[in-house]
Each structure stands twice: as C-alpha cells, then as structure tokens.
Chains A and B, each alone.
Chain A
Amino acid sequence: MSLRTIRILLWLPLAAFLIVLALVAAGLIRPHDNSVRSQMIGKPLPAFSLPSTRPGQPPLTSASFADGKVRLINIFGSWCIPCAEEMPQLQTLKQSGAVIEGIASRDRPADSLGFLRRYGDPYDRIGDDSQSALQIAIGSSGVPETYVIDGKGLIRLQHIGPIGPQDIGDILAAIRDAQG
C-alpha cells in the first residue's frame, strides 16, 4: 500500500462513525413506533369457531367474516382494567357505524357478561376464547387488542393496547381503507 492509501484509510473510522451517526439521528428524528407487529397482517383470519358468550346465540366463526363487510375484532377480558378504559371509545366507534365483534379472552361467560353490564356492550357477537387459542393464533400478545378485518376476511390492522380517544381517527381511517 502506498502512503497515500494509508493516509486515506486512516479517515475510514470517522467515515464509518458518521454513517452510524446519521442513521441514529434519522431514527431519533422519525416518529418512533414501538409496537410489535403481528405477522398476520395482510393474511386471512385463522380458521376458528368459538361458542358464543351470550347464551342461545350461534357460535362466532371465521367463515362469517368473509361476507364483504368490514369488521373490528376486539379482544378483551373482564379481568383487564385497560379493557374497561377503552369501552367509551368502542362505543364511539360503534356509533360511527363500525361493527365490532368481541373475543372474551381467558374468561368465564358469567364474568364477561357482568363486565358488559357494567361498562356497556358495543359488541355484535362475542366469542368465548377461554383458552386464548384464537388470541395466540391471531398473533396477539395481550389484551386489549383490536383488529380491522376487511370484507374478504383479511387482517388489515392491529391495534395493540387500549384504544384511546386519539386513536379513533386512525381506526376509522383503516376501516375506510378496508372498504375502499
């Protein structure tokens, strides 16, 4: 190697550092997204059939989702405090025309129904997922979680954690997208 090349090589560490710096600065400036994305987005709902939590109603099945209608799936539990917190937002979504299907995760039907009596019932149908089998199949890591399912039964959006007043706009937009 000539002396000249060596002289240039000595600046390589600085160049490498500047690249890392630019990268990190970009990461810092961009709005940060800490959510865990389900691998299921863009994929069809896994096949399932859950008995209804409400006595005397037909079971909630995956087949019923591919009827051209956009729906929300909301996973909740009567034992989950943030689930109670997001109930007003679910009511707002319902009033805006969203169809919401509930999945009662790791719950007894009596407890679920008691929870809905207390906090209001925004759900069209409720499936009893007492072993959280669907929850695992759908790639959900906790409750509450909300999914937007389009008319073909494809998962379009996953919202992790309680829906706050500030999230309603995003979810309605996702519903419109799914319809479009």
Chain B
Amino acid sequence: MIAETGLIALWIAAAFAALQACLGLAVLKAGGEDLMRAVRPVAIAQAVMTATAFGALLLVFYRTDLSVKLVVDDSATTLPTLYRITGAWGNHEGSMLMWVTILALAGAAVALFERRLPERTLAATIAAQGVIALGFFAFLLFSSNPFARVYDVPAEGNGFNPLLQDPGLAFHPPTLYVGYVGLSVAFSFAVGALLTRDVGPAFARAMRPWVLGAWMFLTLGITAGSYWAYYELGWGGWWFWDPTENASLMPWLAATALLHSVTVLATRDGLRAWTVMLAVVAFSMSMVGTFLVRSGVLTSVHAFALDPRRGAFILVLLALYIGGALALFGARIATVSEGNRFEPVSREGALVVNNLLLSVILAIVLIGTLYPLFTEAMGTKVSVGPPYFNATAGPIALILVAVMAAGPVMRWRRDQIVAVGKRIAIPAVLVIVALAVALWWAPGLHILPLLGLALAAGTAAASVAPLWKRNLRRTPLFTWGMVVAHFGVAVSLAGMASESAFTQETLVAARPGEMVRVGPYAVRFAAIEPVAGENYTAVQATLVATRGTATPITLRPAQRTFDNPPQQTSESAIATRPDGQLYTVVGEPVPGGRWQLRLWWKPFVTLIWLGGTLIAIGGALSLIGRSLPRRRKAEEQSGFARFR
C-alpha cells in the first residue's frame, strides 16, 4: 500500500503543479487579488504531496519492500541501515523523485516567503515553477516510475552499488540537488521578470538569496564529491574532468558569474540583460548536466542508468524549457530598459571581467565535454581528458583569480587606476616574493603550479584587504562572507598547485616485510590478511609509516569484495598530517607472493577541500547577512559602501 500511496500522491502533486501553472498565468494575464491568494496554497499542496511521495519511497527502501522493482534493483536486506535509506536516491528513479521534491519545496517557499517581487512577476515566477515541475512529474509518471511493482517477489534484492556505500556519497546528491533546484528558482525568476518586463534592482534582490543558497550548496556538493572521488576511487587524483564532474562544475561556474552580476544589478542597477541571461544559463547547465549523466550519451566513470528513451524524454524537456526561455530572452530583453552605466575601471568593470572569464571557462568545459559527441557524429571516437582542460581552463582560471583579488578593493561606478594600484601593492609584492621563493626552492617547477602558488599567496592577502582599517565588529556579515569565500579560493588554489607540483608517487610489487619509500616516509609492508565486514569480505594490508622520529602511523588499505552485486572496491587508507597526506592503496596480488602497493605523498592536498569548505561558509555568511534587513538599504542607496 505504501508504494501505491506514493504513486497516488505523485499524480495529485502533478495535478497541483498544472493548476499552479494555470493560476499563475491567469494572474499574469488578468491580475487579481483572489487568484493570487489561491496560488500560494496550491504551491504548498503540491510540495506536501510530492514530499509524501518521497516519504513513501524512503519508507519502502527502509523496509526493503522487495515487491517494489526499484528496491529489488538497488537494495538488499543485508545492507547497513544508512545505505538502505540512502539507496532510495542512489538510483535513477529515486534521484529524480528527490529532485522534484526539492523543486516543489523550493516552489512552496517562494510562494510562502517571497515579498519583494511585484505581484504579477511573482505570479509568473510561480507559474514557471509549476511548468518545470510538471515536466518532471510527467517524466516520473510516464517513463521512470519509482513505485513500479514486481509480481514475483524475490527473496533478496540485487544489492546496492558498493562504490556508493559511503557516507560521503550518501549525502552528496541531496546537497548538489538543492543547488541545482535553487538555480531553477533563479530561472523561474528570470522567466517571470521577462514575462512582465520587470528587470530591476528589486528583482535582483529577490533573486539573490536563491542564487547565494544554490551556489553555496553546489560548492559544498562539488567539494564533497571531489573528496569522495579522491579517497573512494583509489586512483590518487582529486579531479578528473569526467563528464559527471563537469556536469556539476558547469552550473557552478554559471552560478558564480550570476552571483556577481546579480550583485551589480541589486546595488547599481547595471547588467540587466546579462543577469537574466546568466540565470537562464545557470539552470540550463544543471539540466544539461542532469541529462548528460542520466542519458548515457557520454561515457563516464560514474555508472548511471543508460537508457536512450529516458534520455530522449529529458532532451525534450530541455528543448522546451531552455529553448523557450532563450526564445523569450531574444524576444523580450531588448524591450527591458538599459540599466546604469559605469566606467571600465570600477567595481562593476572588474565584475564584468570576472563574468566574462567565468563564461569563457564555462564554454571551454562545455565544448570539451561535448566534443567527443561531436567527433563521434563525424565518425571518429576521441576522448577529451585532463590535458585539454588543464591547458585551456587553467591559465584563464589563474587570470580570474587575479581579477578576483583586485575587484573587492575597487570602488563602485568609477575608480582611479593609480589608487587601485596602491591598494593592491602589498598583495602584488607578495606574489613576486612568493614567485622568487618558489623558484629558489623548487627550480624545476612547471609554469601553472608555479603561478598558482604565487597567486595564491597574493590573493590570500588581497582577499582580506577589504577588512583593512575597518571596525571588524561593525563590518557587515556579507562583507565577511565575501572575504571568507575569496580567501577560500586562495586556499584551494594553494592546495591544487601544491598537489600538482610536489606529489610523489611510488608503485611497487612488495612482499610482506619489505620497506618502501615515498616522500618523507619509510613505509613497512607489515602484513596482509583477510577481514570480514558487514556485507563484504576484504584483503587488508597493514602498513607502518615512519618519518624521522615521529610516532609511526599504521595504515590499513584494503580491497573489498562485495557479493551482492559482485564487485571489488579498493579502500584507500589516508594519513592526514598538517603538511599533507600519505595516501596508500593495496592492489592485486602479483605472482611470487607479492602485492601491488601504490603510495602517494601529497603535500598540502587537504587545502583543496578546506578552501572549498571556506568558499561555502563564505556563501552562508553572505546569505545570512543579506537576509538580515537592517542597515542594508541605506548603504545600497548611498553608494558609499566602499569595500563591499
């Protein structure tokens, strides 16, 4: 019965979404207090029904109800409780249901709390949310029903992909989806504003918290996903430019650009068309990303449902939504009056450069991701790997970081080059000093890591410059947010540069008892023995790593063998020290009683994710600061907010 309840709730939710779209459009067309009052409860009812459906799915997974096909395919009674629940979204249908649940909840939140938008724009926005949800309900009900039953109830399910059996990955999709869906709200705002030709600072201020929130969750999701891939896949890298990774990076790049342009629109009433465009692009990128990893069009290391029919369905949705929004953009944006002008040397100018650079990186990633598809259409099969992305996106990202360092010390509207130069003198000197130190310390350094290290030092200094000579206690929270986020970028950049410049790798076939060296460590291969886990067996190595006179560290990397479904995973063992990580993997047995061991010493690699977390924290601080209404209005109107 639970599964049927879920399915019925899903149908009712779809009906409410349709009603929501119609009511919203009616308000847009005719206006009307009464109609508008009806829109809000409908949006809330849609969210309640969708959440009920998702709750039903969680329940059938928690109980491992093997009469539901999805549970049979993706779960088993032998799973630990955490994965019996998270298994609900560790598959195609369940993750789509979670997607639409978050969408519906976000729509209800807009209907409930949004007070800054004019009525007609709000109605159009809510209608757009209804239309988006309707498409996804249709997708679930007609092509990906999560509640389908099986009539020969098996004794046991097929189990859950062992790679996903990790706390990090259990919570990675929800985080990312909140980000994607937050961008859908920005998209609906943009569509609403285009429909009513009402693109102004009020619109930007209403949209900004959604963009900030979405961006913060995307940042967290990407950071967590990167760390998961790093420790779980056991290949020792943290970013592979895999289509699935790019699928979350592309909306993040667009959202980052949007976040900055929406600030220009909110505070200075500039960049109107551009902001609307970015709002459309950002959500388009999350839909394109969803499509790319769900349809099997691109080959990815992440195994997802490969089903062209479902792909075709999402593609049609994509065509309708994105195509529709871009057509609306083309037709309407010229009638939106132009915003304020500004001088090239100004805060706005720096933000425009930032936006352009982000867009270029986005284009590079998009082209690189789609290029294999293009050449396959031409008849040759290629894959575009890290060398392309690193060589093209890397240098531009470095320029972007440099602009990021300079932007916050510039004034709105107009500034003097000489004055800006004085303000960034200290960071600039730091860059040069860091460059000199790096060249002296490690002369053979590759150019990108070298510049990365130097820039990271300068950017770290420049990002705290806005706090210089300020009363720290009276500094607004959103300024703190910006400082923390920009500082996080510097920290991350330092981690990336250090990892790519100084990583040391040792690959050996060793017998128990042998000594292996990697970086500053001497690692003794002490033992290898079988161990049993909750739903797997494993071969576990014991490694004892010593460095100078410090206490030896014991690491236990393992090869796990799951029997349901049959799969092997390699569990790396990582020792984290203040100056880096010792990363160890045990591989296959080699004839002669030896085992493959892979050891890496990665100096300061943890800074990558520490930086990512700081960026997200910065976003959270800004979001809180922007939600607190006091004092903001005065500052935004006066134009004297020097460092913001």
Contact = CB atoms under 8 A, between A and B. Distances in A.
Interface of A: 3, 6-7, 10-11, 13-14, 17-18, 20-21, 23-30, 32-34, 37, 106, 108, 130
B363 to A, nearest CB: 9
Contacts of A11: 330
B377 A21 contact: no
B145 interface: no
Nearest to B296: A32
Interface in B416-475: none
Interface of B: 273, 277, 280-281, 284, 288, 291, 295-299, 306, 308, 311-312, 315, 318-319, 322-323, 326-327, 329-330, 333-334, 366, 370, 373-374, 376-377, 381, 591
A175 to B, nearest CB: 23
A34 B299 contact: yes
Given A18-B323, A130-B591, A10 B373 contact: no
A21 B334 contact: no
A30 B372 CA distance: 14
B323 A21 contact: yes
Given A23-B377, A24-B315, A14 B334 contact: no
A27 B334 CA distance: 35
B591 A106 contact: yes
A25 B628 CA distance: 46
A21 B297 CA distance: 12
B329 A14 contact: yes
Contacts of A106: 591
Contacts of B329: 10, 13-14
Contacts of B333: 10
Contact of B297 (A7, A13, A24, A108): A24
Contacts of A3: 334
Contact of B319 (A21, A23, A30, A32): A21
Given A6-B334, A14-B330, A27 B376 contact: yes
24 contacts: A7-B334, A13-B281, A13-B326, A13-B330, A14-B330, A18-B323, A20-B288, A20-B370, A21-B319, A21-B323, A23-B370, A23-B373, A24-B291, A24-B297, A24-B373, A26-B377, A27-B377, A28-B308, A28-B315, A30-B376, A30-B377, A32-B308, A33-B381, A130-B591
A21 B318 contact: yes
Contacts of B284: 17
Nearest to B328: A14
A84 to B, nearest CB: 15
Given A10-B329, A13-B329, A27 B297 contact: yes
A10 B370 contact: no
A66 B152 CA distance: 56
Given A21-B318, A26-B377, A10 B330 contact: yes
Nearest to B566: A81
Given A26-B377, A27-B376, A21 B315 contact: yes
Given A21-B318, A27-B373, A13 B299 contact: no
A24 B327 CA distance: 19
A25 B284 CA distance: 16
